Amino acid sequence: MAKGYWVSVYPAVSGPERLTAYEELAGPAVRAGGGRLLSRGGRVVAHEAGITQRVVLIEFDSFEQAVAAYGSEAYRKALVALPDGFERDFRIVEGVD
């Protein structure tokens, strides 16, 4: 079964410290859904049309698990805590076996 991944890119970040409330809710929601944080806001080298802003990568055991975690009640509560002014490109992608 192919793994699933959450890929988030934040093209516009105005004060990363404002993400604290979201992160406090999102972290436990992701773990409860079976997700494992692989990368969050580390170094980025962008090529072509890439963006060097904050990137978050989370791995799940399956694509279905990744989709279900996003739709969970716990993660929906975290989404409400995302502050105004944050632009985010969020995708759920299926890995290759």
Per-residue pLDDT of 47-88, as tens digits, reads 998 888 888 999 999 999 999 999 999 999 999 988 877 788
The pTM score is 0.88
Report, as an integer, the average pLDDT of 33-45: 92
Tell me if residue 79 falls in helix, strand or coil: helix
What CATH number is given to the structural domain containing 66? Answer: 3.30.70.100
Query: Structural domain of residue 19, as residue ranges?
Result: 4-94
* Angstrom distances, CA of residue 10 to CA of 64, 95, 97: 24, 21, 28
Q: Look at the chain and count its residues.
A: 97
- How many domains would you assign to the chain? 1
Q: Which helix or strand (DSSP H or E) is residue 45 part of?
A: none
